Structure 1
Amino acid sequence: MEFKYVPTTCPYCGTGCGFNLVVRDKKVVGVQPWQRNPVNEGKLCPKGNYAWEFINSPDRLTKPLIKRNGKFEEATWDEAYKLIAENFKKYLGEQSACLASARVSNEENYLMQKFARAVLKTPNIDHCARLCHASTVVGLAGAFGSGAMTQSIADIATSKCLLVIGTNTFEQHPLIGRRIMQAKANGAKIIYADPRLTPTGKQADLFLQFYSGTDVALLNCFMQLILKNGWENKEFVKNRTKDFEKVKEIVMKDTYSPENVSKITGIPAKDIITAAEWFGTSGQS
Structure 2
Amino acid sequence: MAKVSDTVRRCTHVSCCTAWYVLAEIATPGFLDYFIVGEHFNRFVVSGWEGDLYGNAHDRPRGTIWLFWLQSALPWSLILPVLIWKKRTQKHDIEKGHTGLFSFLIFWLLSPLLLFTLSGNILPAYVLPGVPAIGVLIAMLVTQKDFKWLWGASALIPVMLMIALLVLNMGKADSRSDRIIFEKTLPELPVFYVGKRPFSGQFYSRGQAKLLQDADILPSLSQYHLIGHPEQVTALIVQNSLSCTVDLESQSGRSLYTCSNTHGE
TM value normalised by structure 1: 0.30
Higher strand share: 1
Kindly indicate which of the two structures has a greater share of residues assigned to helix: 2
TM-score by length of 2: 0.31
- Which has the bigger relative contact order, CA under 8 A and spacing at least 6? 2
